[in-house]
Structure 1
Amino acid sequence: MEKAYINLGIFCVIGALAPILPAFATNDLGGQVAQASTLMAQSDTIYHTKVYSFSENLVAQKAPITSVSQLSDVQPSDWAFQALRTLVERYSCLAGYSDNLFRGDRVLNRYEFAASLDTCLKRVNKQIATAKAELFPEEDLATLQKLQEDFADELTVLGNRVDALEVATAELKADQFSTTTKLNGEVIFALSTASRNNKAIPSNVSTSSVSDVDSNLSFSQRAILNLETSFTGQDALIVSVYGNNFPDFLDVTGSKMARLVYEQDTGGSTENDFGLFYLSYQFPIGERLNVLVEPYGGVLSDFVDTINPFLGSAGDGSISAFGNRNPIYWQSSFGAGVGVTYNFSNTASLSLGYLATEASNPNSGLTGGSYGAIAQLTLRPAEAINLGLTYVRSFNGFSNVGVGSIYANDPFDGADNIANSYGFEASFQISPQMAVGGWVGYVQTEAISGANEGANATILNYAITLAFPDLFQEGNLAGIVLGIPPKVTSNEINLREDKDTSLHLEAFYRFQLTKNIGITPGILVITNPEHNKANNTIYIGTLRTTFSF
């Protein structure tokens, strides 16, 4: 290089002196200058080429590539590039980029080119498999074969990498889960009123004790906030807090038959206390067994399907507690316990559960106080048919039913009792716009303490329900409930037996304004309240607005 610069200097001096030399000399020297300039350019080009090649070799030595062919790019002018472009244009085997442009004039490394070739090969092979072979010229098939041979190594490496990536992705989908807590809730506003008549009294009670109903329009609310946490994606830890100031219509009407589904049994208090309402943890064991642990606020119906799909929600179903589910599910409510469900198949399952209402009290615990145990076989012989066979064993649990007559809620005047309850529930969706359902509940109970120890009583209830989903508008729901609230049909304590029969008549219509807001006007009629024809019919009207989120 030093010689090149020396020669360049000499020729530059000669070039500068050329104008003062004779013409013949100038011409000779000019030719020499031109020749020297050419030699200089060649020398400089050789120098830069060597430097560039040396640098490239240094980079190549550091890169983890062992094959020389892997360092080569595929230029748009190369045969392989042109061949692939022809195939793309002829068979539309590449769709291009997300901006709808196919950048077919860019330099590609061998792996980028192999990826495009692989995609094109798959689509052309698919076209060959679904079309007649003669539609594809032999020269195109030969081109494909040649491209596959030239890029066989790259295609193999890409295939292995894709397989490994698919395995890793499958493992990630199977194992990936982030512990999260979700908030959801339900808020109910309701206007409610009861008819102004005499308060209901039980059978065998003197009419001299009758008092007037003093009922006005009330505006009340209930709010439930649920925190749901999952640790594995299959389990669920639920913490619910609750506030409610709905009145107890027993205080107004004299009968729990008039109880609305969203009111708490507060003894007439409307204090709006807000606190822990429900706590549970649910998790699977294997593919068929599910376990539900409820340390606080559990009810027996949590462990089973109550077979009342359209009317079984307090927020958007039946307006009455009786119309919500078979009353035998209400026994031993708001306790602590555990339940399991085993799914034999998609059409049959068995659920077992146990609750103790005083589980946190060391004096009674899980077994020394009031309790309820449930077993239910749930059958789904067809997609539109659900059936339930239910058994409940309870100790001092039936007083929590809270929707029947005073005698049904307490058949032995405060004495401890054991009850065996049997239920049959059914639901049949006749069409997408109509479903019919119902239940029968039968209870045999015995007093086990007090002066009436050993006395037996029988309690019966049943109902028929009709539901009309999407009536007049998608998301709306109309419902009708007709039934007999729990009634003491026989009792060895004769004075605590219901002599007549009440009818529960209910109708409601839910307007689903949005996905999260529904308004439900409804009316509830109880004839012969407390199964006593001496009582006036009770009428209750309500306008429920439900916000769910």
Structure 2
Amino acid sequence: MTLINLLSFSSGKTLATEDNQELMGQVQNYTEEFSETKPNDSVTQQIPVYQLDDVSPTDWAYSALLSLRDRYDCLSGYPDNTFRGNRPITRYEFAAALNACWQTLESFMAESQAELIQEDDLIVVERLIQDFQVEIANLKARIDGLGNRVDVLEAEQFSTTTKLNGQTIFAVNAGGFDGDRLIDPNGRELADENPQATLLYRVVFDFDTSFRGTDLLKLRVDTGSNGILDNATAILEPNFGSILDITRRPLRDDEFGIGRVFYSFQVVENLSLTVGPLIEALDYIDNNSYANLSFRDFSTANLVYNYVIFPMDAIGGGAILQWNPGGSAFNVRALYIAPDSANPTQNGQTPLPVSLFTSLLYSDGRGSRGLFGFHQGMVEFEYNPSSRFSLRLIYSGGRVFARRFDAVGVNFEWGFASKFAVFGRYGYSSYKDTDFGDINPNYWMAGVSGLDILQEGDRVGVAVGQPFIVNEIGNSTQTNLEVFYSYAVNDNISISPVFQAVFDSSNQESNDTIFTGTLRTVFYF
């Protein structure tokens, strides 16, 4: 029983039984003794407890409360570990102290320790409650009023807030290959010499605004070097995702641009909707705790997402619906994106934002633009019973260059120890009417990752994968390998050496192995 319902307790069944009437009378007589008018006494005239403005150390109520404190240790004092006793207190202070002692007695009774409470003390507490029932009622009303005001403030008085988050990436990259030359999937020469070392970068500013505390308006401004030309694997193997992903989403070539514009809000409990003209599918679908963010873990593009289920660099207009039924371990996400949604052109020749393998499959580059032309729809079912295990089933489909594609994928992660986890992805797809006919590319990747190995915040990972397994293109299957170690200098800076190897690049057996090394530095602010 708390302070706000002490009054109802005092008006209920009395604690005193007929056997205790004599003791109750003694308490009454004792109180009245100090309340009698004594004109000839030099001590200040006493008045009944319920008429006192303050309760002083000489009053019966004060003494009774101190006795309860001594026997039941029910008053802990002020935050500075002082009790500050032996001084007058207001009736409201007294009521609060009385409530604390009553809660202590009640806890004894709830824990079947009622034998520790003296019956006389229960009678005294009841008498004190009766004497201070006005203060208790007033406190109850004040607390109720305060609670209502807090509810109003939480519901209606949230002020619009914008928060800036930022990130800067610097990376030094160098790599090469043995042999005379490298060829692409069609047999054309890609390179006959090793590229020069490069210094690449990316800068991101996120402006996150909330109007109600439960919504989000995001505006991202970013810039960076040219992601398809600023690193060795982008030059030596551009078609099947060996490129460093950290500077290519989206491509900027040293110019500032808008990378995200969307608004997210809660429709009902456990159901949210995101809409906007610039949305990134990979922000929501096919996430993985150990192979997802190219600035934090693996940097090879085809190791941080399922390569065959994303035929386009899906940043465009659309919507995402996210549902967590009943707050359970299941999550459902449905997404629709049109990468060129702001362009009404029919069958235009301007470049479309597609993955490089898509341009390989459809060399004519034609297709309808707008919100319902070139598009991608995705559905993901996620089972996430704990922080150590997740399983995701994904469907992806739509139209690319006026042709139909469909794909399914599986994504899993399992933390089998406190610091180590295994993870992987698999994809199967169907692309119609390509330059190579109707094809069904497969994809897989797997890896192991360690967290906090040398110090808190460090990450290490090894992953291998085959991004585009198909008989119709080339005479082999490309295999990618990456090893990285991310060293956390502090909460805002990390440094990561990254090693890449590409075997049978471009699905061509004649291509010698490509090796690259990158030193990646990330600043968070």
Alignment TM class, shorter chain as reference: 0.7 to 0.9
Equivalent position to 1:388, from 389, 392, 396? 392
Match of 1:8 in 2: none
1:299 aligns with 2:283: no
Change in Cα spacing, 1:220 to 1:136, as seen in structure 2 (3 Å) is same
- Of residues 319, 337, 346, the one that matches 2:318 is 337
**1-side partners of 2:234 and 2:67: how far apart?**
88
1:189-208 equivalences under 5 Å are 189-197=170-178, 198-203=180-185, 205=187
2:70 pairs with 1:89: yes
- Does the alignment pair 1:232 with 2:212? yes
1:132-531 correspondence to structure 2 within 5 Å: 133=114, 135-170=116-151, 172-173=153-154, 177-197=158-178, 198-203=180-185, 205=187, 209=189, 211-245=191-225, 246=227, 247=230, 249=232, 252-256=235-239, 257-264=241-248, 271-296=253-278, 298-304=279-285, 306-332=286-312, 333-345=314-326, 346-364=328-346, 366-367=370-371, 369-380=373-384, 384-396=388-400, 416-447=402-433, 455-490=437-472, 497-531=473-507
Q: Which residue of 1 aligns with 2:60?
A: 79
Does the aligned pair in 2 maintain the 1:461–1:484 contact within 8 Å?
Answer: yes
How far does residue 71 in structure 1 lie from its aligned partner after superposition? Answer: 6.3
Distance 2:103 2:437 in 1: 82
CA contact (8 A) 2:105 2:117 kept: no
**Structure 1 residues 248 and 541, CA, compared in 2 at 3 Å: closer, same or farther?**
closer
CA distance in 2, matches of 1:483, 1:181: 40
Asked whether the equivalents of residues 174 and 232 of structure 2 are also in contact (C-alpha less than 8 Å), the reply is no
Deviation track 1:82-118 (CA, whole Å, cap 9, x = no partner) reads 3323333343322223333323233333333333333
Shift in alpha-carbon separation, 1:132–1:531, aligned structure 2, 3 A:
closer
Instruction: State which drifts further: 109-118 or 319-328.
Output: 109-118
SS at match of 1:505: strand
User: In the aligned structure 2, how far is the partner of 1:266 from the partner of 1:103?
Assistant: 65
Q: Residue 544 in 1 paired to residue 525 in 2?
A: no
Alpha-carbon separation, structure 2, partners of 1:307 and 1:427:
10
* Greater displacement, 84-93 / 532-541: 84-93
CA distance in 1, matches of 2:217, 2:513: 45
Paired with 2:323 and 2:315, the residues of 1 have a C-alpha distance of 24
How far apart, in 1, do the equivalents of 2:284 and 2:110 lie?
55
For 2:403 and 2:109, locate their aligned partners in 1 and report how far apart those are by CA, in whole Å. 80
| CA displacement at 1:382 relative to structure 2 | 5.8
Q: Do the aligned residues in 2 keep the contact of 1:260 with 1:320 (CA within 8 Å)?
A: yes
What letter corresponds to residue 263 of structure 1 in structure 2? T
SS at match of 2:480: strand
Partner Cα distance (2:266, 2:283) in 1:
16
CA distance 1:489–1:283, shift in 2 (3 Å): farther
What is the root-mean-square deviation of aligned Cα atoms in Å? Answer: 2.9
Task: Output one character per residue of 1:412-449: Cα deviation in whole Å (capped at 9) or x when no partner.
Answer: xxxx532222222222222222221212222211228x
Structure 2 Cα separation of the partners of residues 265 and 117 of structure 1: 64
Determine the C-alpha separation between the residues in 2 that align with 1:381 and 1:84.
51
* Conserved 8 A contact 1:249-1:255: no
Q: Which has the larger radius of gyration?
A: 1
| CA distance in structure 2 between the partners assigned to 1:231 and 1:265 by the alignment | 28
Unaligned 5+ segments in structure 1 are 1-66, 398-415, 491-496
**Percent identity for Structure 1 against Structure 2:** 29
Q: Which moved more, 1:531-540 or 1:336-345?
A: 336-345
Counterpart of 1:260, as a letter, is L
Aligned equivalents of 1:441, 1:133: Cα separation in 2 = 66
Q: In the alignment, is the contact (CA less than 8 A) between 1:468 and 1:477 conserved in 2?
A: yes
Counterparts of 2:207 and 2:391, CA distance in 1:
32
* Offset of residue 250 of structure 1: 5.9
Say whether the 8 Å CA contact 2:290–2:423 is kept in structure 1.
Answer: no
Cα deviation for residue 239 of structure 1 reads 0.5
Q: Residue 430 of structure 1: SS of its match in structure 2? A: coil
- Give the TM-score of the pair, scaled to structure 1: 0.74
- After superposition, the Cα gap between the structure-2 partners of 1:199 and 1:266, relative to the gap in structure 1 and judged at 3 Å, is farther
In structure 2, give the amino acid aligned to 1:299: E
Report how many residues are paired.
449
